[in-house]
A = this chain, B = another copy of it.
Amino acid sequence: MTFSVPNMKSCTDCPIRYNAVCSKCEPDEIEILEQIKYYRSFAAGQTVFFAGDLLEFVGSIVSGVASLTRTLPDGRVQMVGLLLPADFMGRPNRETIDTDIVAETDLMLCCFRRKPFEKLIEQTPHVGQRLLEMTLDELDAAREWMLVLGRKTAREKIASLLYMIATRMVKLTPGAPEKISFILPITRETMANYLGLTIETVSRQMTALKKDGIIAFDDRRDIKVPDIDVLKAETGEDVYS
């Protein structure tokens, strides 16, 4: 697995420049960030932080996917967050981290040592404002997921996850709104940990959705969605809007 630090002389060329925690920054603020940022990469499967670790740095996902998970003493695992490009990792004003953070795919991070970053939040208001926005969005997403975990059936859970991924793909790939196709970026086990299910149940429900024509796949990862509204109807939510 080889990595190269993206060829970025300046943040101007950064792929997440207008979505990440720095997106509201003026040129002079960017310059300050630029002086203290550094890149780190992790291979798929590597752990970025273990729960309980000192939180030495915070940062943005430049590319790849990372998961936040909590584990009970007897080994039960629940994913509690999924970080995609532009998402922010870590939290200011906290000495240690309380979840594992794992690279689900190869990962590139734009990092800041935590202490300097905390000072920076006080100096450059646009960083704090953007971080507040992003945190509020994450909180909304977490609450949405609490509804899924607490009240939905296994079939509805799977449909909800697929629907979320599918709509996210549509957003990234403008074009035909129907007949969506995407590569599942996560394993059955990761799906299970996300949804509070076992891998067997995930597998069975995927098969059931396929049998009912809601989704189609031959390769286990390459999912096709003939009609996104039909999929949404399986999530238990209203189809409208």
Contact between chains at A237 and B72 (CB < 8 Å): yes
From A74, A142, A143, A150, residue with most partner B Cβ within 10 Å = A150
Q: For A126, give the chain B residue with the smallest CB separation.
A: B122
Contact between chains at B135 and A129 (CB < 8 Å): no
Asked if A117 is at the interface of the complex by the 8 Å CB criterion, the answer is no
Contact between chains at B151 and A196 (CB < 8 Å): yes
Task: Pick out which of these stretches binds chain B: A26-34, A41-49, A77-85, A108-116.
Answer: A77-85
From A99, A131, A139, residue with most partner B Cβ within 10 Å = A139
Q: For A156, give the chain B residue with the smallest CB separation.
A: B72
The distance in angstroms between the C-alpha atoms of A131 and B133, with both chains bound, is: 10
Q: For A197, give the chain B residue with the smallest CB separation.
A: B150
Mask, A142-174, CB within 8 Å of B = 1, is 111111011110000000000000000000000
Contact between chains at A80 and B132 (CB < 8 Å): no
Contact between chains at A139 and B139 (CB < 8 Å): yes
Q: Which residues of B contact A184 (CB under 8 A)?
A: none
The distance in angstroms between the C-alpha atoms of A138 and B150, with both chains bound, is: 18
- Give which listed residue, B91, B133, B136, B143, contacts A70 with CB less than 8 A: B143
The distance in angstroms between the C-alpha atoms of A138 and B139, with both chains bound, is: 7
Asked if A93 is at the interface of the complex by the 8 Å CB criterion, the answer is yes
Asked if A128 is at the interface of the complex by the 8 Å CB criterion, the answer is yes
